[in-house]
A and B are shown apart, each in its own frame.
Chain A
């Protein structure tokens, strides 16, 4: 980092302390979890802030709680820890698979789920896997904790529904139950790759009929998105090759990706449909 600025980083020991710092404008700092997004941004043009508030290892943010119907995952949980948290794997396989594709081992050891979500990059790998659960984000501030549905969390390109005084506390993610999940990422290489596109799906089928379908994509829009039209097409239908073909087409016509250094708009649109096909053919 070629910069003359120094960052004043505070290391609160408890969530309450962190919330107090964030509550007031003149003590508030950029929230710093693993730093794997922020440090890169600071090194490549974004001016570093004067103050930062470290969330690293805050105990309240590092817990995973398995409940009857859902799982609470603290925002400070790292991708590596998700990989080690075996008891939750069968309930949230898409999320676990997504976390395993983030960067490589070094980044996974440092990068957090909260950071991935709050960074709000359309290419954040865990976002589609979070979206398909239909869960919520728990936001904490001195005023208390509120829940925001994941569907409403990413409000625009690199924007989230959290106020400046709020900290992401955890994610409440319903278990998949009898549904089948799938995650697939297309990157330029097998590790250390930012997604060209990725898809997550949670689909429940009984006796050949689709009871419910949640399909989400990343890197095809300013935010991670649910393919609501495709989901509507699928729900209640018999799973047939022609339905699969229809869903594939609909996915391709309903997304409007852009071209950038990582891929072309045409390829992304096409693969969007292919990944929907992939999900439906692997139920």
Chain B
């Protein structure tokens, strides 16, 4: 790590122990499911039994005793039956007479004193439907796209255009074309989704539960609940993992729980068990991506045409933005002057897909990084030398016309990874479908190289203006300290710790005097959702600047109050003016609170004034900053059984300033493991009944610790200087590029390219032994 950059802070750059470690390690932390209230009801969602059909009636069993059960249907929705995500099409609950658009679409919510009673009651509600033929999968949608494009139903289109594609292809010596597929992926956080909604006397609701984006429900449920934002208060409970899964979906859960809560006047809790959680919450979007590329003999990429189609499911929800991020990452890492990238979101009769770590980028990078290897192979160039030739570096222009600044460590990541993993040497050992001397398994090594745009796309952050507050207050021990008041949520990634580090350095205050209470929209300004790898970069900057603001205010108070206007500095938790005895932070803070009332430091995030973005043409600065990474995967394939093991992964990353190297490495290893599952295990099909076929931990296979390779993780630091302390995105980057590195390694092991993930032994068998029952040892 670049020491010169890390040393400026006392805590920034250090591996401080997590502030939430004690409670979590000792099992003291109370999650939503540990918290019950007297009089609370449990809610159960009643769902569509078909993937598509006309909703004819909801018929309660007359033999069942309904007296102690609350049933809420679309008729109980106080306002307009629409949840305001990125469009206004999705109802909160389906309405009788309308069309049911996916299996599991909610039609009613049943609440009762116990889960058992609510479950039983739900089973006595018959959903009458007239079935209609569904379009279940992306495969079906793509078949239409290829055969009769006019019939292809896209919920959102967006193109990126640069240069002149026809000219680019005309200049090419060779054209390489291929398609790549990837399926659903489940987030599989440890803690399932859940929320409790309290109806309050003033007609407002208080919502408590596990989520990433406390302000989303506040703004998305105004129409159906007929409540203004200030009457929807959301309080975060400790989050047992989220990975995007608790980004947009908790809004729905709150909506479901709110209906019986408002109807009965009692708090209602809805929690899912694992089966329901896997079946009926959003997944990563399946993708089909087709690249057509023109290259010159010398390797110049003269033209790139890309169709990038996601399976959005039945409603748009947030899929437009996932697709935007996808197309912005489809050709980001390489020089190309002429390109068209077309993004589409296919509508299918399946559960709406949603946010998952990477947010469209893993799908894009999966295709691109496989394809670059295919181009290199056609050119007869090794994949690493070709990437070294073609990759973008400072001064190069992205597909949207953004000029990359000096703060992009692209070359450093690529070079260090290649050198550190001894890529060129090891590649000579690759089996290419034939065991070499001494090998009992096919060995392969593969590379991927990619960027992840940090923070909201385009001018998102400029428009959003993330706000944060540093609050001087008496803490839980009765002594003064500072509360970090932002809406970022701790979900295991370590934000409570790194913000404590940032605040401590910016204030020059002992971290033991800093608290980061759980986000509560009644108390925190809107610093935005905990998504998009924006937290360290954007909200970290807000915390840093707001801390400086608070420090300034306290210093000038101390200067006036005790030191007759002499310049006063808060340092090492003490206020000092020249040649005077320093005063403790506690004394000054107490006096200031008594004499001033509330004391807060504030900051509102801005983008650099010269940042430009056109949301219609997708031209300009698509992200404020970019993180970079190169992944190298080594694999072994057993010729006897086609079993595949990933044995070693080298990852070098530029995430800007590394605030906490231990937590950062943990994020990387965790993300790589999630990407490993995506690449070789996590397979989820859709049955004819519209349900995922892998819907339990028994059948949805993720890697165990025994399946994880040796991880070799290194950072290079190119900080984002505009927003100190200079972090760029870290959360998603490790998820982005391991799958293609593994596919490229598989190609180098067996001499065949697989273009669909996950790559399973069954797929390797089919590739290696195309004649069924083939017997070659």
Q: Footprint of B on A, CB under 8 Å?
A: 2-4, 40, 44, 104, 186, 188-194, 245, 248-249, 252-253, 261-264, 266-267, 269-271, 273-275, 277-278
B9 surroundings in chain A (CB, below 8 A): none
Interface on chain B toward A: helix, strand, loop, or mixed SS?
Answer: loop
**A262 to B700 Cα, complex, angstroms:** 10
- Assess the B707–A277 pair: CB atoms within 8 A: no
Task: Given contacts A44-B275, A188-B701, A261-B694, list 7 more A-B pairs with CB under 8 A.
Answer: A4-B120, A44-B696, A186-B761, A188-B760, A193-B701, A274-B640, A277-B777
A275 surroundings in chain B (CB, below 8 A): 641
- Assess the A261–B640 pair: CB atoms within 8 A: no
Known: A189-B681, A267-B762, A273-B775. A2 touches B273 (CB 8 A): yes
- Assess the B761–A267 pair: CB atoms within 8 A: yes
**A189 to B120 Cα, complex, angstroms:** 37
Interface segment, B138-146, B463-471, B765-773?
B765-773
- Assess the B772–A191 pair: CB atoms within 8 A: no
B766 surroundings in chain A (CB, below 8 A): 266-267
B704 surroundings in chain A (CB, below 8 A): 104, 189-192
A189 surroundings in chain B (CB, below 8 A): 681, 701, 703-704, 706-707
A-B contact pairs, 10 of them (CB 8 A): A4-B116, A44-B275, A188-B681, A188-B760, A248-B775, A253-B773, A263-B762, A267-B642, A271-B765, A277-B640
**A264 to B681 Cα, complex, angstroms:** 15
A266 surroundings in chain B (CB, below 8 A): 762, 765-766, 772-773
**A3 to B115 Cα, complex, angstroms:** 9
A188 surroundings in chain B (CB, below 8 A): 681, 701, 760
**A190 to B646 Cα, complex, angstroms:** 12
Restricting to B724-776, which residues have a CB under 8 Å from any CB of A? Answer: 760-762, 765-766, 769, 772-775
**A266 to B642 Cα, complex, angstroms:** 13
Chain B residue with minimal CB distance to A193? B701
Known: A4-B120, A189-B706. A270 touches B769 (CB 8 A): yes
Instruction: Give the interface centre of A188, A193, A262, A278 by most chain B CB atoms within 10 Å.
Output: A188
**A249 to B119 Cα, complex, angstroms:** 52
B694 surroundings in chain A (CB, below 8 A): 261
Known: A2-B116, A261-B694. A278 touches B275 (CB 8 A): no
**A194 to B696 Cα, complex, angstroms:** 13
Task: Indicate which residue in A2, A192, A253, A262 contacts B115 across the interface (CB closer than 8 Å).
Answer: A2
**A276 to B696 Cα, complex, angstroms:** 32
- Assess the A245–B775 pair: CB atoms within 8 A: yes
The 10 closest A-B pairs by CB, nearest first: A190-B706, A267-B762, A188-B701, A4-B116, A191-B704, A189-B707, A191-B706, A267-B765, A264-B762, A2-B119
**A269 to B775 Cα, complex, angstroms:** 11
Check if B699 is an interface residue, CB within 8 A of chain A.
yes
Known: A2-B273, A266-B765. A252 touches B698 (CB 8 A): no
Task: Indicate which residue in B273, B641, B774 contacts A271 across the interface (CB closer than 8 Å).
Answer: B641
Chain A residue with minimal CB distance to B696? A44
Check if B223 is an interface residue, CB within 8 A of chain A.
no
- Assess the B641–A190 pair: CB atoms within 8 A: no
**A274 to B639 Cα, complex, angstroms:** 9
- Assess the B707–A190 pair: CB atoms within 8 A: yes
**A191 to B706 Cα, complex, angstroms:** 7
B772 surroundings in chain A (CB, below 8 A): 266, 270
B774 surroundings in chain A (CB, below 8 A): 270
Check if B75 is an interface residue, CB within 8 A of chain A.
no
**A263 to B763 Cα, complex, angstroms:** 10
Chain B residue with minimal CB distance to A268? B762
Check if B36 is an interface residue, CB within 8 A of chain A.
no
B761 surroundings in chain A (CB, below 8 A): 186, 267
Known: A3-B116, A278-B640. A194 touches B698 (CB 8 A): yes
Check if B693 is an interface residue, CB within 8 A of chain A.
yes
Range of interface residues on B (Cβ < 8 Å): 20 to 34
Chain A residue with minimal CB distance to B120? A4
B230 surroundings in chain A (CB, below 8 A): none
B157 surroundings in chain A (CB, below 8 A): none
Chain A residue with minimal CB distance to B114? A4
Name the distance in Å between A215's Cβ and chain B's nearest Cβ. Answer: 16
- Assess the A186–B273 pair: CB atoms within 8 A: no
B696 surroundings in chain A (CB, below 8 A): 44
Check if B643 is an interface residue, CB within 8 A of chain A.
yes
Name the distance in Å between B645's Cβ and chain A's nearest Cβ. Answer: 8
Name the distance in Å between B187's Cβ and chain A's nearest Cβ. Answer: 18
A190 surroundings in chain B (CB, below 8 A): 704, 706-707
B120 surroundings in chain A (CB, below 8 A): 4
Name the distance in Å between B507's Cβ and chain A's nearest Cβ. Answer: 46
B765 surroundings in chain A (CB, below 8 A): 266-267, 270-271
B273 surroundings in chain A (CB, below 8 A): 2
Name the distance in Å between A136's Cβ and chain B's nearest Cβ. Answer: 32
**A273 to B640 Cα, complex, angstroms:** 10
Known: A2-B115, A189-B706. A274 touches B641 (CB 8 A): yes
**A189 to B704 Cα, complex, angstroms:** 7
Name the distance in Å between B121's Cβ and chain A's nearest Cβ. Answer: 11
Chain B residue with minimal CB distance to A189? B707
Proximity string of chain B (694-716) to chain A, C-beta cutoff 8 Å, 1 when within and 0 when not: 10101101011011000000000
Restricting to B565-604, which residues have a CB under 8 Å from any CB of A? Answer: none
Name the distance in Å between A214's Cβ and chain B's nearest Cβ. Answer: 21
**A192 to B681 Cα, complex, angstroms:** 13
Chain B residue with minimal CB distance to A188? B701
Name the distance in Å between A76's Cβ and chain B's nearest Cβ. Answer: 24
- Assess the A269–B773 pair: CB atoms within 8 A: yes
Chain A residue with minimal CB distance to B645? A190
Restricting to B477-512, which residues have a CB under 8 Å from any CB of A? Answer: none
**A190 to B275 Cα, complex, angstroms:** 23
**A2 to B762 Cα, complex, angstroms:** 36
Restricting to B104-133, which residues have a CB under 8 Å from any CB of A? Answer: 115-117, 119-120
Name the distance in Å between B229's Cβ and chain A's nearest Cβ. Answer: 35
A192 surroundings in chain B (CB, below 8 A): 704
Chain B residue with minimal CB distance to A196? B761
B699 surroundings in chain A (CB, below 8 A): 261-262
A248 surroundings in chain B (CB, below 8 A): 775
**A275 to B640 Cα, complex, angstroms:** 8
**A89 to B766 Cα, complex, angstroms:** 38
B117 surroundings in chain A (CB, below 8 A): 4
- Assess the A249–B693 pair: CB atoms within 8 A: no
Proximity string of chain B (641-680) to chain A, C-beta cutoff 8 Å, 1 when within and 0 when not: 1110000000000000000000000000000000000000
**A278 to B638 Cα, complex, angstroms:** 12
**A191 to B681 Cα, complex, angstroms:** 13
- Assess the B773–A270 pair: CB atoms within 8 A: yes
**A44 to B695 Cα, complex, angstroms:** 11
- Assess the B640–A252 pair: CB atoms within 8 A: no
**A263 to B693 Cα, complex, angstroms:** 13
A194 surroundings in chain B (CB, below 8 A): 698
A269 surroundings in chain B (CB, below 8 A): 773
Name the distance in Å between B166's Cβ and chain A's nearest Cβ. Answer: 44
Chain A residue with minimal CB distance to B640? A274
A277 surroundings in chain B (CB, below 8 A): 640, 777
Chain A residue with minimal CB distance to B702? A189
**A263 to B706 Cα, complex, angstroms:** 21
Instruction: Give the interface centre of B641, B643, B707 by most chain A CB atoms within 10 Å.
Output: B641
Chain A residue with minimal CB distance to B117? A4
Name the distance in Å between A119's Cβ and chain B's nearest Cβ. Answer: 14
Name the distance in Å between A185's Cβ and chain B's nearest Cβ. Answer: 10
**A104 to B115 Cα, complex, angstroms:** 31
**A80 to B762 Cα, complex, angstroms:** 31
Name the distance in Å between B762's Cβ and chain A's nearest Cβ. Answer: 4
**A40 to B681 Cα, complex, angstroms:** 22
Chain A residue with minimal CB distance to B772? A266
- Assess the A261–B693 pair: CB atoms within 8 A: yes
A193 surroundings in chain B (CB, below 8 A): 701
Known: A2-B116, A263-B762. A249 touches B775 (CB 8 A): yes
B693 surroundings in chain A (CB, below 8 A): 261
**A259 to B117 Cα, complex, angstroms:** 38
Name the distance in Å between B500's Cβ and chain A's nearest Cβ. Answer: 35
